[in-house]
Structure formats: C-alpha cells, structure tokens
Amino acid sequence: MAGPGAKAPHISLLEGDVGAHLRRMALPLTWGLMAMTLFRLADTYFISRLGTRYLAAIGFCIPVIMLFMGIIFGLSVGTSSVLSRIYGEGEMEKMRRTATDALSLAVLAIGVSCVAGFLGHSWIFRQMGATPDLMPLIHKYMSIWYVGLPFLGMMIVGNACIRATGDTAFVSRMMSLLALINIVLDPFFIFGWGPFPELKMAGAAVTHVVANYITSMILLYELIFRRGILAPKIFHRGIFDSWKRILHIAGPSVLSNQIAPISAVIITWLAAGFGKEAVAALGVASRVEVLSVMAFYATGASVSIFTGQNFGAGNYGRIREAMETGARYAILWGLFVAVVLWAFAERIPLVFDKNPLVAAYTAQYLYWVPVSYGAMGTMVICNAALNAMGRPLPATTLILLKAVVIYLPLAFIGQAYMGFTGILAALVATNMAVGLISYVVNRSLVPS
C-alpha cells in the first residue's frame, strides 16, 4: 500500500546531545497534547453553559472515557516501543510489516471494546452513583461517543508509528487539527448555531465523531502514500506473532492505564457522597490538571522514543542520561505549574461554573494537588523508559502501587476523617511516594 519510492525519513537518536533531542521531540508533542487538552477544556466550558446538571453528567462520563482511552494509549505505547527498537536496529521492512499489524490490532481491539462498553455502560454509571435525572444525558452522550472511538484509535496508533521514527512535528500537527475541528464545531452542534440542530451535551459527542473520522483518514493517507510505512497486505501468516510482540508491551500498559480510571471511578463515587457539585468539581479540576501536566506526557513520549532506539542499538548510557534529564524537566515544570495554579485557584473554577460549591471544591483541588505534580511527572517519565526497554511489568507494578496499594486506602481513610480534603491529601501523598520509588526503581533496571 506504500506509494512508489515512498519511505520514512530516517531521524537518528543514536548520537548527538541527549537534551537537545528530547527538547526537539517534546516541544511539538507538548503543543499537540495541549491542543488536545484545550479542546477538552472547551468541551467542558460549552457543556457548563448548559447548567450544573450537564456538568455533573460529563463528570461521570470522564472516568469511563479515561478507561477506553487507556486501551488506545496502551496500544500506542506497545506500538511505539516495538517500532522504535526495530527502527534503531535499522530493519525498515520489518518496521512496515509491524506497523500494519499494529493498526489492524488496534481496530479489532477497540471495536470489540466499544461493543462491550455500549452494552454495559448503563449499569456502570448506576454503580458510580449517577442519579436518574443524569442517566438520559449520559446515555445519549456515550452512545454517540462510542461510534467515533475506533477512528480515534486508528489516528493515535498511526501517530505512534510515525512517532517511533523520531518525527514528532507531524504528530503534533495531527493532534492540533483534531483539537481545532472539535473546538470550531462544538458550539454549532451543542447550541444549534446556524442550520445545525441543538443537540446540547450529545452535540459534543457528534463533534468528536466527525473530528476523529477526518483526522484518521488524513493519517492513513500519510502512512500509505507519503511515508510508505504500511505494508500492502493486512493479514499474513506471521500476524499473530507480530500482535504478540506488540501486546507484550501493550497488554500490561493497557492494564496499567485502566488502574487510574478505575480508581477515578471509585473516587468519583466517594465524591458523589458530597453531592453532584463535588462530582462536577472533579470534572473541571481533572480537565485543568490534564492541561497542566501535558508536558510530562510529551517528555515521557520523547524519552520513550529515545530509549527505544538506543536500546535497539545497545546505547545504555544514553538511556540513563535521557531518564535523568527528563526527570529534571518534570520537577521544574511541576514547580512552575503549582505556583501558577495556586495563584489562580479561586478564579479558574468561575470560568466553568458560578455555583459556589463547585467553585469551592475545584479551588480546593487546585490548592492541594499541584504541589505533587513534579513527582507525578517523574513517574510518567520512568514508566515511559521502562516500557520502551520492553519491561512493562515493573511499569505496571508502579501504577498498581500508586492507584491501588497506596491511593485508594488513603482516600477512603481521608474521606472518612477529613471529607473531600482527605481525598485530595491522599492523592498528594501518593504522588510524592510513587514518584520517588519510580526514580529509584528505574535507575536500578537500566542496563550498565
């Protein structure tokens, strides 16, 4: 399916300044991820104009959306890890074959997940504590949202194929385009501007479907005709072996990505005990937080690409240097973000909801949690390096340690004795502890 003479440009990370390589890759990714987050904030803002009831409904949807996005990002991590190591070894034909297999695996896995999610999502939301007046809003939104998920998965895993070569600029442009389409179309479908129907909260889901479809088709064209990264044959004798290599990384990564949303579901259930205002506040705070910590994930993705290529070439000293450089960036950015959010903690919530309880809960979150962002970023970077080296189990163990072993027990205790503040204090303590443990573990596992 590759165009005549097309080939992926070779970008070597095996020599040159480590910090310069990480900055070159991380800056475009940061912008792309921030653009994606800005459209989620725009979603939240537009939906908040409909009222606190709608904001609470999207607050219930967010943890479940995170769960499905965890599947996509897990497949993306597996794809990037395997392909970057193959790229570092210089085996371009093997890379094309594996990239094609990664996309077919993604479409199959995400399609099955969507069907399962659609069949069971009403039960899930009732167990989370969604009240009967919110269920129709949630059902309409999620039913449409599932339709666009396979296209989004195709786009993100396809981006991982390109990212593995070290080209993050194109990846950033694709994410920015996705965000732009969402931001532009959102008010038309939500509020019924011009000839468009007024779909309210469901309109945001329709926008997602349209944007996901457009960007996935552009991405496929790039992969097939401009870069020649995909092979001409989808199914072949060795496809299951190829899927097995990808799932060796993607499987544990998918599982670890589910731990955070599952814990978020439980925390949302705990917060629901304080009323729908507390759930709405968590929805607002989580969107603000995602924007604030995007630099961690961009740096982590850059460290992953760098580690994969250098691991394939046996340059272990450069891997250690990249991990330490990434951790320093995370700590500095975390401190900067904590100061900014602390300064504007009272004002940010009012952009989304004038309800005094929603604003108070959101401000409380922004006062407490950001002080631990640097430690959170360190864990993200260390996990990225472990996955890129083909060691997903230690990375998954660290996530499990954070979300289940430490955070959930502390959150239950904190909620019992300190209320909503106790939930936040538990998150701060957990981020600090696991960030330190991640750094120590990662240093011990990098080959000498």
Residue 365 has pLDDT above 50, yes or no: yes
pLDDT band at 5 (very low <50, low <70, confident <90, very high): very low
Lowest mean pLDDT among 43-52, 396-405, 408-417: 396-405
Q: What is the pLDDT of residue 261?
A: 65
Q: What is the pLDDT of residue 32?
A: 85
Average pLDDT over residues 156-174: 90
Lowest mean pLDDT among 43-57, 131-145, 200-214, 278-292: 278-292
CA distance between the termini of the chain: 41
Q: What is the pLDDT of residue 308?
A: 86
Give pLDDT tens digits for 236-267.
Answer: 888 999 999 999 888 887 776 666 666 677 77
SS (H, E, C) the chain: CCCCCCCCCCCCCCCCCHHHHHHHHHHHHHHHHHHHHHHHHHHHHHHHCCCHHHHHHHHHHHHHHHHHHHHHHHHHHHHHHHHHHHHHHCCHHHHHHHHHHHHHHHHHHHHHHHHHHHHHHHHHHHHHCCCCCCHHHHHHHHHHHHHHHHHHHHHHHHHHHHHCCCCCHHHHHHHHHHHHHHHHHHHHHHHCCCCCCCCCHHHHHHHHHHHHHHHHHHHHHHHHHHCCCCCCCCCCCCHHHHHHHHHHHHHHHHHHHHHHHHHHHHHHHHHHCCCHHHHHHHHHHHHHHHHHCHHHHHHHHHHHHHHHHHHHHCCHHHHHHHHHHHHHHHHHHHHHHHHHHHHCCCCHHHHHCCCHHHHHHHHHHHHHHHHHHHHHHHHHHHHHHHHHCCCHHHHHHHHHHHHHHHHHHHHHHHHHHHCHHHHHHHHHHHHHHHHHHHHHHHHHHCCC
Average pLDDT over residues 297-311: 87
Counting residues of the chain whose pLDDT is more than 70, the rounded percentage is 95
Average pLDDT over residues 105-113: 93
Q: What is the pLDDT of residue 260?
A: 63
Q: What is the pLDDT of residue 8?
A: 44
Average pLDDT over residues 226-244: 87
Residue 368 has pLDDT above 70, yes or no: yes
Residue 231 has pLDDT above 60, yes or no: yes
Q: Which pair of structure tokens corresponds to residue 91?
A: 């085996």
What are the domain boundaries of the chain?
A: 18-445
Q: What is the pLDDT of residue 443?
A: 80
Q: What is the pLDDT of residue 6?
A: 42
Q: What is the pLDDT of residue 448?
A: 66
pLDDT band at 88 (very low <50, low <70, confident <90, very high): confident
pTM, entire model: 0.75
Q: Which pair of structure tokens corresponds to residue 263?
A: 């814990």
Q: What is the pLDDT of residue 144?
A: 94
Chain-wide mean pLDDT for the chain?
A: 86
